[in-house]
């Protein structure tokens, strides 16, 4: 039995679903462009530079969820999938996931982006398991807070370990474990698996991959 882990943004997607969700809300007039766009761009640059304060970002990203009903949010998300997400999915990414599924591997998307944004995207890829940052909710509605450890940097290791433990597994349960990522932020988890793969890597990750002999692929 093998384990295949996939980062989502800029790995399976040719873009960042977290960033694009805020841009989508700005575009349809839910968020004020003047107030939110500059912040959204700044957080995205911090993420790419490896300097993001995840709790500050999540406060920015999750608060808008608490201002609208789940029914309204779900309707917006359907539009978001059509207009923003599907154009970011390239065939090589679909083919990669399908190869692992066809081989009978346990497949999971593991992402810092919250599960409200990413669960429909995981379903689009046919990936059963999603390990993501979890928005806090009460009585079916979002509170604007975060539940559990954010699935970011070292937090991905914690969340993966908890996910595996709940199923009676650990990384050593698998004959092989592979993790595909584009980002320097995922270096902690990349060093934990047997086969780290740099997919569409940023410059820092590419340097690590070249130095360590990791496979480098292009999914775009």
Residue 7 among the catalytic residues: yes
Residue 16 Cα distances to 93, 96, 112, 161, 210, angstroms: 14, 19, 11, 25, 24
Q: How far is CA 103 from the centre of its chain?
A: 23
- In this prediction, residue 122 carries a pLDDT of 98
The number of domains in the chain is 1
pLDDT at 35: 84
d(CA 46, CA 18): 13
What is the reported pLDDT for 22?
Answer: 95
Provide the percentage of residues in the chain whose pLDDT is more than 90: 94
CB-count burial class (<10 Å; 0-12, 13-18, 19+) for 66 = middle
Question: Which band of pLDDT confidence, cut at 50, 70 and 90, is reported for residue 31?
Answer: very high
Residue 86 has pLDDT above 90, yes or no: yes
Domain hosting 163: range is: 2-217
Q: According to the model, what pLDDT value does residue 46 have?
A: 94
pLDDT at position 88, please?
A: 98
pLDDT given for residue 212 in this prediction: 97
| Confidence band for 16, pLDDT divided at 50, 70 and 90 | very high
Q: What pLDDT is stored for residue 184 in this prediction?
A: 96
Options 7, 16, 105, 182, the catalytic residue: 7
* pLDDT band at residue 34 under the 50/70/90 scheme: confident
CB burial of residue 107 (10 Å; 0-12, 13-18, 19+): buried
**Residues 186-217: pLDDT tens digits?**
999 999 999 999 999 999 999 999 999 999 99
3-state SS, one letter per residue, for 130-162 = EEEEEEEEECCEEEEEEECCCCCCHHHHHHHHH
Question: Could you report the per-residue pLDDT of 119-158, keeping only the tens digit for each?
Answer: 999 999 999 999 999 999 899 899 999 999 999 999 999 9
As a whole number, mean pLDDT of residues 159-163 equals 98
- Which tokens go with 181? 């990522």
- pTM, two decimals, is 0.96
Specify the pLDDT at position 30. Answer: 94
Tell me the CATH number at 35.
3.40.50.1000
User: Beta-carbon neighbour count of residue 139 at 10 Å?
Assistant: 6
């Amino acid at each position: 039995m093998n384990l295949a882990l996939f980062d989502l943004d800029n790995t399976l997607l040719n873009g960042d679903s977290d960033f694009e969700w805020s841009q989508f809300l700005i575009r349809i007039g839910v968020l004020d462009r003047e107030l939110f766009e500059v912040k959204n761009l700044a957080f995205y640059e911090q993420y790419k530079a490896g300097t993001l304060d995840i709790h500050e970002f999540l406060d920015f990203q999750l608060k808008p969820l608490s201002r609208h009903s789940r029914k309204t949010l779900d309707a917006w998300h359907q539009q978001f999938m059509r207009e923003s997400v599907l154009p970011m999915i390239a065939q090589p990414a679909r083919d990669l996931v399908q190869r692992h599924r066809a081989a009978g591997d346990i497949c999971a998307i593991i992402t810092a982006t919250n599960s409200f944004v990413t669960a429909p995207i995981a379903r689009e890829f046919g990936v059963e398991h999603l390990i993501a940052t979890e928005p806090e909710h009460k009585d079916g509605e979002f509170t604007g807070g975060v539940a559990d450890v954010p699935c970011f940097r070292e937090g991905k290791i914690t969340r993966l370990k908890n996910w595996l433990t709940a199923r009676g597994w650990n990384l050593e349960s698998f004959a092989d474990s592979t993790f595909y990522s584009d980002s320097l932020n995922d270096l902690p988890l990349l060093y934990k698996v047997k086969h780290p793969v740099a997919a569409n890597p940023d410059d820092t990750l590419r340097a690590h991959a070249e130095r360590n002999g990791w496979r480098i692929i292009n999914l775009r």
